[in-house]
Chains A and B, each alone.
Chain A
Amino acid sequence: MNTLRRALLLLAAAALVLTSLCACGAGGTEPTSTVPATAQSGELPTEDPVEATAEPTAEPTPEPTPEPKRNSVTVGIAQDLDSLDPHNPGSNAGTSEVLFNLFEGLVKASPDGGVVPAVASDYTVSEDGLTYTFTLREGVKFHNGAAVTAEDVLYSLNRCAGSENEGTVLVPAFSIVSAVAAPDEKTVTITLTEPNLEFILSVAEASIIPKDSGSQMATDPVGTGPFQFVSYTPQESLVVKRFEDYWGTPAKLDEVTFQVYLGSSNTSAMVMALQSGTLDMVIHMPNTMAPEIGTDFTVLQDTMKLVQALYINNAVEPFNIEKDGVKVGELIRKAMYYAIDVPAIIDFVCDGAGVATGTSMYPAQQRYFMPELAENYAYNLDMAQELMSYAGYPDGFDMTITVPNNYEQHILTAEVIAEQLKAIHINATVEQVEWGAWYQDVYKDRNFQTSVCAISASDMSAREMLVRYASDNSKNFINFKDADYDAKVAAAQTTLDQEEQISLYKEAETILNEKAASLWIQDLCELVVLDPELEGYTFYCTYVLDMSTIGFKA
């Protein structure tokens, strides 16, 4: 009896021990510390670099890839890439900031919000503002090794302007392009139908790709950027490596993996991944996560360069109602603006570090930003209730706030707004949807009532932030319609006078605020979290993640 008992006990113990052994087995060779992030970066302390170089193909060690010195990083991103095609019109900012590392236009975005020459070494603009002449840079190569020719550039520009794809304009700003031409091997000209001071900023979006490669872009992207494509696994990761033949300053890192974190708890998953050393870097981390991240990382604080708002569909009830010449919908929107307490929202969502915007413009766009607009709808419940009564809704109404579930800050903001709107008897329901569903229903199909999200710009032009709300703009997802606004924006786009353009855009911004087209809230605060061994992160005024300047400290 005893032997049997012992045998069984042994069996059970063995099973358990085996489990825990497996768990700790390979852990021994790794620096087992509660802060592996610090220990793991740079040189692996347990490995002798000299020995490792002398014997690169040593016997398999528990480490999957024995490297003499680690020179690759993994970056956590909160969404999957919409497409690898740099010209894909549906891609949002989260995708283009990653693709920034693979592709370049004739010019590319610079940290200050302007553009610097890239594939072109130089450019000139004609007196009337209609013709842009680019001189192609010597010795620019594609990732596939081929040299960039004028033909490639023409193909790329034509593709953006729509002439390569049944007239669908892929880069919206290129709708005013009338012709592109290559007078000689080293020169390319773009002719516009009307002048536009901001056009050059959009040229950065027209990435140069090899001739006739458009259909392969989605699976095998080839560009001229500092990094080249290695592999992409949907919803998992994008791996890129340094492009050795890059024309400019080569990237410092050998390889970068963009690791996708999806779902409703992705922020905490990324924090855990940072702490366990899986991730070396996370961008767009809500600043409220700072206490979770701890002090073992380099944490940089920045604004996100976007406008978070309760975006209101101006074409659905009750926001579209007009009765006997009274704009009831507008009254309701204003009442709601008075009823929400923006500074409190900023406190709750950003620990007070966000910046109130008051309109569709964020502080980094210094030329256009009007901080005073944020003061127009100071929290005033009496005013709000009065407006609601005047509009004929003294007892409020029911509404739905649709929020993409992968951005915690938007969910929190929606919850706070729903709570604050109770004061004027508006019963708001927060509905969380997957990013894909949100993108399709809210952003593309405009099938929503209200939504908390953020709109950002890929360049410093006002196009993404202001021109999009012109009545017939394809990106006007809030269905804002205002003749005065349309006129201002149209005039601003065609003027050749910088000062006049700025003042016209400012007038347009003011209209968005006055009409309460949406409840503009804030430019969010975000953290960039880096492994302490990393350096060289560059802040851009626009939504750009430049990996080429990042490297490990010497």
Chain B
Amino acid sequence: MTAFFKRLALLLVTMLLVTALAFAAFTVIPADPTASILGMNATEEQIAALRAKLGLDLPLWQRYTTWLTDFVRGNFGTSYRFSMPVEDLLRPRVEATLALTGLSFLLIVAVSLPLGLLAAHKEDGLLDRLVTVCGQVTMSIPNFILGIGVIWLFALILGVFQQKYVPPEDGLWAHIRYLLFPALAVALPKTAMTVRLLRGSVLGELRQDYVRTAYSKGNAPRAVLVFHVLRNAMIPVVTFLAMTIPDIMAASIVIEQLFGIPGLGQMLISSIGNRDYPVVQAIVVIAAFVVVACSFLADLLYRLMDPRIGGR
């Protein structure tokens, strides 16, 4: 249990560092937000008043602690551009991005697990070779090129995909059906990587002594593969999958822009253009929190799965 608390403490330290980095980054930016709010013809008094209102006249550490406590309470500040609370602006967008990221993640798991096992099951078989070669090529395609391909094939040639975002309010099923196409573009390269890793991991485990022992004890091959090998082979895969989440999010940002999905990525890019720093700051911190939380969960899973790591 101490190990768990140690990890938890580490998680909190990392998150604190993340917020400090994000805060610092947007404090050293030379542009003064007052100029973009008030415009050029503002008087000195107007600027001073606004600076006081925004709390820009306080010392740095005080601004950081205020900002952090507000942030923890779910108060992300006010968007300069849209004059509305950042949290209201971002809520539907967080949902869209998380839905895309989550769906891509599920796709990766759902396709790569059976494929990886099959490939490993008959090493150097036809399927194995096919998966290896195709995987290597798929890994090399940038997500946005895949995205262009998906749009070209499904929207322009086959006509089964309408390139207009379907929000969850229009029905969960329609929403998921829409998101499947961009998710495909996000998931494919990572699927190929997971397949390769799982295949390698399973093959490595199959050569271990305990497998031979298990066979010799008369266990059914299927039982050995599923109950013994898979459990051990999954350990590096789970770690890898957790590590891919930042990549999936990054890919989602690019793909959102391509498909016109109103998610965090699109908001981020236009907010950068609009110098809407509270929004950019919030998006960066949210993304980082998701990533840190995922790696924490992966670590827990890892401990649960691997009996050799003690201290539970």
Contact = CB atoms under 8 A, between A and B. Distances in A.
A5 B257 CA distance: 41
B283 interface: no
A9 interface: yes
The B interface is mostly helix, strand or loop, or mixed, namely: helix
Contacts, number: 136
A277 interface: yes
Given A4-B225, A19-B107, A23-B181, A434 B269 contact: yes
A233 B177 contact: no
Nearest to B180: A22
Kindly state the interface size class of chain B when it binds its partner. 35 or more
Q: Which of A25, A34, A236 has the most chain B CB atoms inside 10 A of its CB?
A: A236
Nearest to B109: A15
Q: Which of A4, A269, A273, A275 has the most chain B CB atoms inside 10 A of its CB?
A: A4
Contact of B166 (A25, A64, A235, A440): A64
Interface stretch (B154-162, B234-242, B297-305): B154-162
A23 B178 CA distance: 8
Contacts of B83: 218
A211 to B, nearest CB: 22
Interface residues of A, number: 57
A388 B121 CA distance: 75
B151 A272 contact: yes
A475 to B, nearest CB: 12
Contacts of B82: 234
B274 interface: yes
A32 B160 contact: yes
B233 to A, nearest CB: 14
B163 A436 contact: no
Nearest to B225: A4
A23 B182 CA distance: 11
B118 interface: yes
Nearest to A18: B110
B270 A34 contact: no
Interface in A426-453: 433-437, 440, 444-445
A3 B115 CA distance: 16
Interface in B167-189: 170-171, 173-174, 176-177, 180-181, 184
Interface stretch (B11-19, B35-43, B62-70): B35-43
Contacts of A18: 110
Given A11-B114, A23-B177, A436-B81, A276 B273 contact: no
Contacts of B154: 23
Interface in A13-70: 15-16, 18-19, 22-27, 32-34, 36, 60, 62, 64
B240 to A, nearest CB: 19
Contact of B40 (A60, A433, A444): A444
Contacts of B159: 27, 32-34, 36, 276
Nearest to B262: A236
B221 interface: yes
Nearest to A404: B273
A278 B81 contact: no
A3 B222 contact: yes
A263 interface: yes
Contact of B177 (A25, A440, A444): A25
A261 interface: yes
B275 A90 contact: no
A1 interface: yes
B163 A272 contact: yes
Contacts of B258: 265, 269
Interface in B129-157: 151, 154-157
8 contacts: A4-B221, A4-B222, A5-B121, A9-B114, A33-B159, A236-B262, A262-B266, A440-B36
Interface of B: 35-36, 39-41, 81-84, 89, 92, 107, 110-111, 114-115, 117-118, 121-122, 151, 154-157, 159-166, 170-171, 173-174, 176-177, 180-181, 184, 221-222, 225, 257-258, 260, 262, 266-267, 269-270, 272-276
